[in-house]
Amino acid sequence: MIIKNAKFLTSIANVDKLGQLDLPQFAFVGRSNVGKSSLLNALTNRKSLAKTSSTPGRTRLVNVFEINSSFYFVDLPGYGFAKASKSEQAGWQKLIGTYLENSKNLKLVFVLLDCRHDITEKDEQMLEYLYTYQIPFQIIVTKTDKLNKSELRKNLQILATQTKVGLGDIIAVSSTKKTNLDAILKLIKEKLTKEEL
């Protein structure tokens, strides 16, 4: 698949408005500073489609991007941001949960994990949530350019064990070097081809 055009569509804070998204959707979720914005920019080959920040937790709304006029990328708020108040975090969780449980057009959730770190309690909760509600997901391990090959192999095996998926079921990417982005685009094409194309 080639992404020929991508544009920011809207930011959503209201749960009800999420139901108005009528095209197939691919959601991106992960803890703050895991590299969601960088990955979205790399996939679409746009430098500033999604705003990146050195300050974790800047994505506080559900940001929707229209891709090839045929489907959406949905950027969900990063979880585990320590400086956010408990009420803010509860609001994000409600927004994310309501979207994941009720979106009829959601095809796949990309769960992003940083290759340099073990999964957190928030990551575990997200994966358990997706398992419980039988929401299809794909684990993406980010920032692979930050480790050498032996460190990366070791950490990928650890993450595969922690997430209870096979090592071959993890897509390891670098947004900076644009490695393995084709694997994500291929998966998106397969999901669309089954039902939409």
Query: Which has the minimum average pLDDT: 29-33, 140-144, 158-162?
Result: 29-33
Show the DSSP H helices in 103-169 as ranges. Answer: 121-132, 149-163
Which are the contacts of 124, defined by CB distance < 8 A and separation ≥ 6?
none
Which H or E run contains 175?
A: none
CA distances from 51 to 15, 58, 64, 188 (A): 22, 9, 12, 22
Mean pLDDT of 14-21: 75
71: its two tokens: 């489907």
In whole angstroms, give the CA distance from residue 21 to residue 5: 18
Taking 70 as the threshold, does the pLDDT of residue 117 lie above it? yes
117: its two tokens: 């770190």
- CATH topology for 6-191 is Rossmann fold (3.40.50)
Residue 57: its pLDDT value, please? 45
**What confidence category does residue 79 fall into, taking pLDDT thresholds of 50, 70 and 90?**
confident
**What confidence category does residue 60 fall into, taking pLDDT thresholds of 50, 70 and 90?**
low
Residue 56: its pLDDT value, please? 45
**Domain assignments of the chain as residue spans, ordered by start:** 6-191
pTM across the whole model? 0.90
Size of the chain in residues: 197
Q: What is the largest CA-CA distance in the chain?
A: 47
